[in-house]
Every structure is written in structure tokens, then in C-alpha cells.
Structure 1
Amino acid sequence: MSTEPETTPAPAPAPGSRIHGCLLGGALGDSLGYAVEFDDIAAIRARFGSAGLQDFSALDAGSPFSDDTQMTLYTADGLLEALEWANDGVAADITACLWLAYLRWLGTQGVAVPPSAPVQPPRWIDGQEVLKARRAPGNACLSGLATGEMGTVQRPVNPESKGCGTVMRSAPFGLVPQLGPESVYKLSAEAASLTHGHPAARQSAGLFSLVIQGLASGLGLRDAAEAALGHLRGGVLHKGEAPDADVLARVDAALRLAGSSLGPEELVSELGEGWVAEEALAVALYAVLATAPVPGTEAAAGAPEAHFRAAIAVAVNHSGDSDSTASIAGNILGTYYGEQCLPESWLAALEAPEVIRGMASRLAAVTGA
């Protein structure tokens, strides 16, 4: 007879908790990483010590969230509008709703919305002053929207751009339970094409959205990543398109290396700095997988919060796009664990949590979560 104590699996997070966890977790990672976004690892260590930036308590003045969280919330609002129309029995072009939402975000950044673009009445999100701050927005996001053209996969704007501005805003696509994997990928990829034209940009965004969908449906962290990669290899791509070699190589490397413990220098050498889409996704996936506690161990007893803290630290402390890699990691773990993984002291330091919770509540309500 076994003398091992019986353990009862923790209940799965409620759908609403996953939505709140995803948006809040992403904002926390974004905020901590934004404090060092343009610093290399030497500068981070010089400022915060050999372990780097580990906690908001090290930031005397706190740290606001960046354009990553702003655009994620506007993605959620574009989906929200389309779902509101659908619930009223009116069909809406979801990608067009997302484009209009991004154009409204563009207006908050002090960039004139092109006169050729459709005019839309303001929505709840547009009245939130905190979202009107300019927080180092990506050039491709600004220039792609400023053309006034609705970029598509077939007729992309910024055709050579594959910056991470597509990935960091794409978590909400995976939070809509009414959508199947093909629809999630298609919508995410088409929304990416509104600003970035390179196949790696839209494929990385679609892959990330599929990871979030897998987690929201109850898959484990590695299972969700492998399932998303299987979809990419197996046919969710647009007709005639092949999986991008760089996307496959970076994500495969993240999965392969997850059992190792890479230092910040090795992380960048193996997976990249995160400024482009596939690198940002790979760094975030590595961060959450490499720090996952082994079930049944003492470390597992401290999960989920300990896992969240450890993963965000890995995603922040490197010479690269720290806010985007940490934002993506926060989205992933917030979806996986729900709100229970989010440190209370971090939430207390978070800028405008009521705005993020407000959007999460609206998305949860319209999806029936």
C-alpha cells in the first residue's frame, strides 16, 4: 500500500478568471519589463543587482504599462464590438471591427487618423485617459495604421515588417470560446496583417493566439504550445502559404531548451532578443516552460504565484524587448492559472487596474464566461 499522501488536483480556473488573469497577467509582465525595455543585461544588473529586476518593489516610482497592454485592450474591444453585434443578431466583419479599434488607438497616440478612414463613434475604452499616454509604440503599428488602408494578407501594409507588435496584442483571440482553432488563427493573422506584412509576423501572432486558446480550454502549458505548433504545421495557414522557417525554428528551440536553465546571454543567443515576432514568442514560451514546477515537488506547492514570478523574471531580464516578452509570458500564465497566480503586491502597483478589469469583465460577459 502506498504511503504517499493523496493529492486532489486543483480545480480548473473559471473562464472569467482566465480572461481576467490573461489581461492582468500580461499587463503586469508588460509593466515590469517596460522599466528596462531598452536596457541590456549589463545595465539591468548594474541597476538592480546580479539577479536583475525581480519585483515592483525595486522600482521606487513604479512602472506604467506600455503600448503592448494598450493594443491588447483595443484588440479585446474590437472583438467585443463584433460579439455585441452578433449577440444582437447582426453579422459584423470582425477584422473591420479590429481595424476600427486600432484606428481609435492610433488617435490616442497623437497621430492623425487618415481622412480616408471610416469615422466611428467613441466607445467605453476611448474614454480611459490612461490609454492615451504614448508609451514607445511600435513604428510598424503606427505607420501601418496611418496609411488609412486596411491591410490584408493578400495586400499587406509594411510587407517586410515582422516586429513583435503583432504577437504582443493577440492574446484576446484565444479567449473567445465560440471560435474554433482555424477561426482563431485566421482572425489573429488577418489582424496582424493590418500593420505587419511579413508571414512570420502573422504566423507568430496566430500561433500565440492558439496557445492561449489551448490553455483556455484546459490544456497544459507544453501541450498547448505543441498543439498550436501542430495546427501551424497541419493546415491552418492561408491558402498557398507555408510555415515560416524562422517561426518553426524559434518555437522548436524554445520547446527543446525548456528543460535547461539558460542565462540571459544564452537566452538571447539561442532564441533572440524578442524585437521580432517569432523571437518574442519563443522567449516567452521558454520563460513559462523552463520555470514550471515539477508536479509533486516542494516547489509545486508554491505554484501558481511562484511560477508567475519566476517566469516573468526570466522574460524581463535579458538584452532585448523585455516588456513584450514578459507581457506574452504574463498572458500565458494568467490564462493557464487564472487570477490566482497574480501577486497581490504586484496588482497593487499596477497602473489603472480598473481599466484592465473593466475590459476583462466586458469580454467575459459577452462571451458568457
Structure 2
Amino acid sequence: MGTAAATGVWGRAEQQDFRSRVRGTLLGAAVGDAFGAPLDGLSLDEIRAAHGTEGLTEPAPAYGRRGAVTAATQLALFTVDGLIRAQVRRDTGAWHPPTDLHRAYRRWAATQSDWGPDERREEDGWLAREEWLYARRAPARACLLGLGNAVMGTLERPKNPDERGPEAAVRSAPFGLLVGWEPQLVLQLAVEGAVQTHGHPTAYLAAGAHAVIVHGLARGEAVDGALQRTLALLAAHPGHPPVADALRHALGAVRQGMPTAARVEELLGDGTAEGALAVAVYCALVGEDIRHGLRLAVNHGGPSSATGALCGALLGALHGETALPPGWLTELEGRPTVLELADDFAMEMTQGPALHGPAVSAPGWLARYPRG
């Protein structure tokens, strides 16, 4: 994987491995989001009263059904859409991925106010015409405010500069799937995507850190190695200590014996971005399998859907799609869309020149991901 990502020359086995990790990351994040969604807003005592002393161990209904995802998954999918569109537009010389991300996030914002996709413009592409994405699933106020106008946030002038929530980190896993990029550029782009809605350094650096960890896992590294690289890269960024300290705390907790809900809640702290990321990393490290890791990640009195999604993305990138619980996947809302988008992303990243470029153009692809 590392050689193919570096050289841009992909063998069949490498393409298949990459596609499995892309699918695993996006499906894992969505499954974790849906698994945690019924617990959002509940204390640990309330969770145990409703689901038993072990807490929630199997998917339960939220928003009227099992497998329902939140706005975090919706935004993660639009992140993928924006990244594909940025690659497609690169041929025109208009190479500025943050602009394509902002446009994609604005397309998501329209789904939160429009009745449905009936009047969507052709230049919006296929994802914005997926009717199930028009459900309003507890979008964070910071996301609605940050994307509520056409002004794009930048690192110098971020949107919502006091916002420390985990929502920007939850949508940042797709940046880590840019396996041909250097990790510091992955971190930078994830930060530039995060400041559209979450302008506090803790929030946007947690988003960057999550992306870099996913990047290492998607390239075949172990969790510990990906974490060490992330800590080294964070050190160059002002405001990094809370995020770096949270990640080190997660590593230290691994050595403190059997995992418990109390230890998870200690790592979580007040539920802001760095604590949610620490919980995800800890549960990915100590989980015996993906089910166990996700159960640990959501059974606490904080933002369970966010920690579930963050952990699910890490485990999916590490193990690939076939390690995900099949019974949980069967009920996942929007699974066909997630798979289609994942496969499109993998195809663009490994075979983009065969889809668009100076010598070739696939009209069907450009209809799905317009350059406008």
C-alpha cells in the first residue's frame, strides 16, 4: 500500500486492499455513529437502567429505526464528495480543495432546509439528490451556523472560534484516506475543513489528528505507529497541547488494566473534541474486536454517536470492511450510498487519470462529480 500510494502505480491487490479500507472507514464510522445515536444525551446510569449493567451491546432504535445515522455521517459523506470533486477539478488548474469542501458542506446545509432533492441543480452532482440525506438528524448548531452563509472559514478567520465540540473531527476521517498525500498535508487539509464550523484550536487540531491517524492505518500501519506520527506532527501547531495530552492519556490508559466505563468517562472529560478522540483511540487499542471496541466507545454519559463514529472509522481503516459486524451493517441507513461513494472515492484515487484528464474524459463520471 505504501509503495502504491507514493508512486501512484496501483496493482490489483493494492487497489482491492485500499478499497476495503475505504469502505471499512466510511462504513465503520457510520455504524459507530448509528450505534451510539440512541445513547446521546443519556448518563451512564440512564444507559444501564435502559439496557442493563453492560450498557448497550446491540443496535437499538434512534430516529424511529435501528441503524439511523446522525448529521455527522451525512457531513462525512459530503466530505468525500468534496474530495472527489477537488480531484476532478484539478484538471482545470483550479486546485483549491478547501473551496471544494466548502461547496460540498454548503450542499449538505441545503439538505437541512430543503424538503427534498426535487429541485437540485445538475452541478450539485448525485449525492445531493439522495433523498434519505434530507432527514434532519440533530445537526450541531456550530455546523448550521458555520455553513449558513457563503463565507468560507479559514485558519486566520475561522467560523465559531470558541466551538470545541467533536463534530468536525467526526467528519474528518475521509481526509485520512488520501493515502498518496504526505501526512502533514492531510492534517492541514483536515484543519482547513474543520474551521468551516469549529474554530477553536482544540476542535480543529483534533480533526487533523484523527485524519492523520486514519491516514496511517489506511496505509497499513499499526495504531501505535500512526499515533506517534500524529503526536510529532501536532507539535508544530499552536494550541496543540490539549489534543496531544489527550492522546498520550489514552495511550497511558491502555496500560492500566481491564477497560471500564469509568476509564472511558475519565478520558472523555467534558465531551469536547480532544476527549472524544482520546476515547476513540483508547477503545480502538483495547477492543478485543470491533464489536467490543464500539461497545466501549459508546457506553458513557457523553456524545456517544461522535465517539462511536470516531472509533468505528479507526477500526474500519485498520481492519477493512470484512471485519465489521455484518448484522449491524444490514440495518445501516444509507448503506448502498455509503458503499457507492466509497467505491467512487477508491476509483478516483487509484484510477483518476483514466476517468478525466487531457487525453480522456468519462462523461458519466463528470455528471456524477461536476467540475463546476
Q: TM-score interval w.r.t. the shorter chain?
A: 0.7 to 0.9
Is 1:330 the counterpart of 2:309? The answer is no
In 1, the alpha carbon distance for the partners of 2:244 and 2:114 equals: 35
Q: Give the drift of 1:328.
A: 0.6
Tell me which amino acid in the other structure corresponds to 1:109: Q
Which residue of structure 2 lines up, in the alignment, with residue 105 of structure 1? 108
Letter in 2 for 1:155: R
Match of 1:75 among 72, 75, 79: 79
TM-score normalised per structure 1: 0.85
Structure 2 SS opposite 1:204: helix
Q: 1: distance between equivalents of 2:194 and 2:142?
A: 11
Match of 1:173 in 2: 175
Aligned to 1:299: none
Structure 1 match to 2:264: 267
One-letter identity of the residue aligned with 1:278: E
Give the alignment of 1:1-20 within 5 angstroms: 14-20=17-23
Match of 1:210 in 2: 212
Structure 2 gaps, min length 5: 1-12, 116-120, 352-372
Q: Residue 249 of structure 2 aligns with which residue? A: 253
Q: Aligned partners of 2:150, 2:233: CA distance in 1, in Å?
A: 32
1:304 aligns with none
CA change 1:47–1:206 in 2 (3 A) is same
1:144–1:195: 8 Å Cα contact kept in structure 2? yes
Cα distance in 2 between the residues matched to 1:148 and 1:265? 43
Aligned counterpart, 1:290: 286
Q: Is the 8 A contact 1:95 1:190 kept in 2?
A: yes
Amino acid at match of 2:52: G
Measure, in 2, the Cα distance between the counterparts of 1:140 and 1:204.
Answer: 16
The answer as to whether partners of 1:254 and 1:271 remain within 8 angstroms in 2 is no
The whole-number CA distance in structure 1 between the counterparts of 2:213 and 2:122 is 32
Identity over aligned pairs, percent? 35
Partner Cα separation in structure 2 for residue 36 and residue 309 of structure 1: 16
**Matching residue of 2:33:** 30
Letter in 2 for 1:362: D
Q: Equivalents in 1 of 2:149, 2:266: separation in Å?
A: 36
CA contact (8 A) 1:253 1:271 kept: no
Q: Which amino acid aligns with 2:265?
A: V
Change over 3 Å in CA distance of 1:319–1:217 after alignment to 2: same
What is the CA–CA distance in structure 2 between the aligned matches of 1:120 and 1:353, rounded to whole Å? 23
How much does 1:58 deviate? 8.2
Aligned to 1:281: 277
- Mapped contact 2:32–2:305 kept (Cα < 8 A): yes
Question: How far apart, in 1, do the equivalents of 2:225 and 2:114 lie?
Answer: 41
TM-score by length of 2: 0.84
SS at 1:56 equivalent: coil
Q: For residue 94 of structure 2, what is the amino acid of its counterpart? A: A
For structure 1, list consecutive stretches of 5 or more residues without a partner in the other structure.
1-10, 113-118, 294-306
Q: Which of these residues, 91, 95, 101, is aligned with residue 92 of structure 1?
A: 95
- Once the two structures are superposed, residues 103-154 of structure 1 have per-residue CA deviations (whole angstroms, 9 ceiling, x without a partner) of 1101111179xxxxxx992111101111111000111111111143111110
Question: Counterpart of 1:296?
Answer: none
